[in-house]
Structure 1
Amino acid sequence: MPKGWFAALALLAATPAFGQAVVSPDVPIDPKSVDGLRKIGAQVLFWSQAQRDANFPHMEKLFPGHIVKAGAKVRPLPEGKPLPVPAAEIDAYIAANNVAGLLVVQDGKIRLERYARGYSREGRWTSFSVAKSFTSTLVGAAIRDGYIQSVDEPVTQYIPDLAGSGYDGVTITQLLTMTSGVRWNEDYTDVKSDVARMFLEAVPAGQDPTVYYMKNLPRETAPGSKWVYKTGETNLIGVLVQRATGKPLATYLSDKVWKPWGMESDAFWMVGPSGHEVSGCCLSVSLRDYARMGMFALSGGKGVVPAGWFADATRPHADIGEPGYGYGYQWWTYPQGRFGAVGIFGQMIRIDPKTRTVVVMSSAWPKATDRALQHAREIFVDRLIDAAAQ
């Protein structure tokens, strides 16, 4: 099963304490400072269950960020026919897998909605790498708005700082599909990995930390020839969209999706040392608005992204080495034509076009990622979608 690894660790785990001693949560930390961000971030993978339950719905209390503003008009989610799945079966899965929120929407109607662990409809929960799929959608919006001409354009057209680096000749498509050919190590247990070192190095004044680090990476293979999961490249996508549009990602997401699609609540998007959103991670969104994002993708995003954008974005462009599974434009692809967004500790949006069903889960798994937990989730999600088809 594909791993929804913690995108923010490219920013957050960059500390000598990562993987070793953890800063005590009782020690006062200034989250507005770069050092403070790193110290708090270094704790995330090591939080106790109580800390995960307390912090996942309130990340804005620990980190600086921007607000994705909702509009005045809310897209309704009326009640539909209850899903024919025994309540005891649902209760057992929620309890065994530390699920905080579970929502099934079919044809725009709610067929199942459950909350636990102190979460509620009025709250919001962190996304971790689910945010990657939101970021890629902004590329589509920028193309339709004329800020970006095509995904076939070279990345250096919009981030000229990358000229002369391993990103020469790499297209936006290859950035979206993580097939740039640039060497990258996403091992969160290795303090020398790229994802851990990304923000440790001193950055010359006036340079973006993400761009500065990424431009010094060597090329490993020809562009388009190999898929490697790279949080740093999602962060580059965010830089690209910001530079092309001249707008913060939170503002652009509000203008293009949150307000016109009728999201119910404001969202929170964490920012990094540059003051820009951490585009590979760290959106905090309500359960129903996660579902609305799935509905938006399922609808094709007419009027916001180019015609056919989601059909292309959610097909398997890259082989990830798992039969039946693949990677699109920052969307995971699954058997039976399904697609979705994934984040560690059990965050998920899954879309099934055949039954027009969206399944959302917000969780606080005891581990960032785990094969047994992933397998159990796949069985349960398949069960829900099959029930929706009845």
Structure 2
Amino acid sequence: MSLRRSLLAGSILVGGAAATVVAANLGIGLQRYGPTYLRRTLTRRWIPDLRDPEYFPARPIRAADRAFLLPVDPDGPEHVEAAFASIAGRHGASGETLDGFLARTRSTSLLVLHRDRLIRESYANGASDTSLLTSMSMAKSVLSLLVVAAIADGYIPSLDVQAETLLPDIGGLRGTGITLRHLMHMVSGLRFENPRPLGWLSWEHIFDGERVSYLTPDIVSHLATARAGQTPGSHFSYDDRSAQLVGLAIERATGRTVSAWLEERLWRRIGTEAGATWVLDRKGGHERMESGINARARDWLRLGRLVLREGDWEGTAVLPRQLVREVTHAPQIIAGLADPISRQPEYAGRSYGLFWWGLVDEPQDCLAEGALGQVLYVARSHDAVLLRTGGGTRDVPSWATLLRDLAAALPA
């Protein structure tokens, strides 16, 4: 046989083998997770994605009957511009205006509330004051407040309730001693299905457990794969499934979807100006508990103001002060773990607890943070709330520290 014919025959054999492997991966993925998941994972290159609100079905959340107007300081924009100029060099923005910087960094909004006055409201890259801006994992911090509401109203006994009593159908929780607090600290030690049915030939794009949890149309079935792993409370491991379990526990305890609970207990009580949405795993299904709340920027700012005022809204206790203080001052708590967050290089200078992030050098502050640089920063040290939304963090390694520095540079 000539060299040319040998090479042709070899390529056919290799091509056939590759096609067989692809077909096997697709067939097993289809059987295990169904056609909707397979379509989603094959058509989504990136997760997470700011286009999630367009991709997933969603449940509506009604606004307040009367919007609470955020007072505007006419001199505020100038003060923020000056504050930004004073810190720009530390964040790779020397000589840039704030608006130019936001445009370059693919930001969609930046808002600053200082001493209860809106002093800066900027939008970029096609966003406006009526855009519904997606939360990514900022939703986890909202879940934390929804747990506070459920405890305050008697649906959940405490943060230290055994998770298995709230979720008796999740067999992997039984006998583990895992509490709601463990889940919210991301220290449950749980493991989830991450199959490799074809060994090293398994296509991770289909079988990766975290990808399944993000794209599955049946989140409860995936959560049912939970199994005990490391000792609860010993190791920090950031995992969306912890938030999904907490969201499911809120549903079971209150008898409401988390969207309905958010609407009833927070959204309509803090003077929100517009309705919001929360994306679902499937039409009529469960919310994507770990992410996917979509709201106007000013309404995100109102939520941050509620945290800044520790549950008080214009003289009304929307949430109990003591519990709000406990969950939003928690980021330092898990520093004492056997494997603390501070030992993990990607979290240098950071802390975490009860679904809120913190910065070690600003222990009074807390922040809700999501992928691609979504940050709601509550600067108690400067009586301010700052919001940044948008795409990507390539040009800004830490939006959290930038917002911290911006808050510190505001006029005293």
Amino acid in structure 2 at the alignment position of 1:92: G
Report the counterpart of residue 99 of structure 1 in structure 2.
Answer: 107
Q: 1:333 to 1:386 in 2, by over 3 A?
A: same
Aligned pair in 2 of structure 1 residues 149, 381: CA closer, same or farther (>3 Å)?
A: same
1:327 corresponds to which residue? 352
Asked whether the equivalents of residues 346 and 361 of structure 1 are also in contact (C-alpha less than 8 Å), the reply is yes
CA contact (8 A) 2:187 2:233 kept: yes
- Of 144, 147, 152, which residue of structure 1 is paired with 2:155? 147
Distance change (3 Å), C-alpha of 1:252 and 1:378: closer
Query: Could you tell me which of 100, 118, 129 is aligned with 1:121?
Result: 129
| 1:214 corresponds to which of 218, 223, 239 | 223
- Distance (Å, rounded) in 2 between the aligned partners of 1:61 and 1:162: 31
- How much does 1:101 deviate? 0.7
Q: 1:306 aligns with which of 313, 320, 324?
A: 320
1:73 aligns with 2:99: no
Cα distance between partner residues in 1 of 2:264 and 2:34: 29
Q: Which residue of 2 aligns with 1:259?
A: 268
Which secondary structure does the structure 2 equivalent of 1:160 belong to? coil
Cα distance per residue 1:146-173 (max 9 Å; x no partner): 1111111101111101245467311010
C-alpha contact 2:60 2:275 (8 A) present in aligned 1 = yes
| Cα distance in 2 between the residues matched to 1:199 and 1:381 | 28
For the residues of structure 2 that align with 1:34 and 1:215, how far apart are their CA atoms? Answer: 16
CA apart distance, 1:184: 5.4
TM-score by length of structure 1 reads 0.79
- Give 1:354 shift: 1.3
Matches within 5 A, 1:220-369: 220-273=229-282, 275-302=285-312, 303-314=317-328, 315-316=330-331, 317-318=333-334, 319-321=340-342, 322-334=347-359, 335-337=361-363, 338-365=365-392
Opposite residue 70 of structure 2, the aligned amino acid is L
Q: Which has the larger radius of gyration?
A: 2
Q: Given the superposition, is the C-alpha separation of residues 106 and 34 from structure 1 closer, same or farther in structure 2, using an over 3 Å criterion?
A: farther
Partner Cα distance (2:56, 2:326) in 1: 34
2:37–2:215 contact (8 Å) kept in structure 1: no
Q: Which moved more, 1:217-226 or 1:133-142?
A: 217-226
Structure 1 185/355 Cα, relative in aligned 2: closer, same or farther at 3 Å? farther
Please list every run of 5 or more consecutive structure 1 residues that lacks an aligned counterpart in the other structure: 1-15, 22-32, 202-207
Q: 2:396 aligns with which of 370, 373, 389?
A: 373
Matched, 1:384 2:406: yes
Distance (whole Å) between structure 1 residues aligned to residue 214 and residue 175 of structure 2? 19
Does 2:166 correspond to 1:158? yes
Residue type matched to 2:357 in 1? W
- Rate the CA distance shift 1:255–1:217 in 2: closer, same or farther, 3 A: closer
Label 1:331 to 1:379 Cα distance change in 2 as closer, same or farther (>3 A): closer
> Residue 100 and residue 42 in structure 1: after superposition, are their counterparts in 2 closer, same or farther (change >3 A)?
farther
Please state how far the C-alpha of 1:220 moved relative to its aligned partner: 2.5
Report the secondary structure of 1:374's partner residue. Answer: coil
Corresponding residue number in structure 2 for 1:8: none
Distance 2:246 2:40 in 1: 25
Shift of 1:89: 2.7
C-alpha distance in structure 2 between counterparts of 1:218 and 1:158, whole Å: 16
* Aligned equivalent of 1:179, options 160, 176, 187: 187
- Distance in 2 of aligned mates of 1:36 and 1:92: 41
Structure 2 distance, partners of 1:290, 1:134, is 10
Give every structure 1 segment of 4 or more consecutive aligned residues whose post-TM-superposition deviation is greater than 6 Å: none
Aligned residues: 342
Aligned identity (percent) is 26
Mark the CA change 1:277 to 1:379 in structure 2 (over 3 Å): closer, same or farther: closer
Go from structure 1 to structure 2 and tell me whether the alpha carbon gap of 1:121 and 1:151 turns closer, same or farther (over 3 Å shift). same
Distance of 1:66 and 1:104 partners within structure 2? 29
Counterpart selection for 1:194 from 193, 196, 209: 209
Find the residue that maps to 1:268 and give its secondary structure: strand
**Does structure 1 conserve the Cα–Cα contact (< 8 Å) formed by 2:41 and 2:205?**
no
Q: 1:215 to 1:116 in 2, by over 3 A?
A: same
Work out whether residues 125 and 362 of structure 1, in 8 Å CA contact, stay in contact via their aligned partners in 2.
yes
Distance 2:101 2:189 in 1: 40
Structure 2 SS opposite 1:180? coil
Greater RCO, 1 or 2 (C-alpha within 8 Å, sep 6+): 1
How far residue 191 of structure 1 moved from its aligned partner, in angstroms, is 5.0
* Secondary structure of the structure 2 residue equivalent to 1:340: strand
**Corresponding letter in the other structure for 2:273:** E
1:39 maps to a residue whose letter is: R
Supply the distance in 1 between the matched residues of 2:310 and 2:206 (Cα, whole angstroms). 41
Q: What SS does the corresponding residue of 1:308 show, helix, strand or coil?
A: helix
Query: TM-score under structure 2 normalisation?
Result: 0.75
Label 1:122 to 1:308 Cα distance change in 2 as closer, same or farther (>3 A).
same
Offset from partner CA, 1:349-388 (integer Å, 9 cap, x none): 11110111111011122xxx55x5223x345323321222
User: What value does the CA root-mean-square deviation take over the aligned residues?
Assistant: 3.1
Whether the 8 Å CA contact 2:41–2:215 is kept in 1: the answer is no
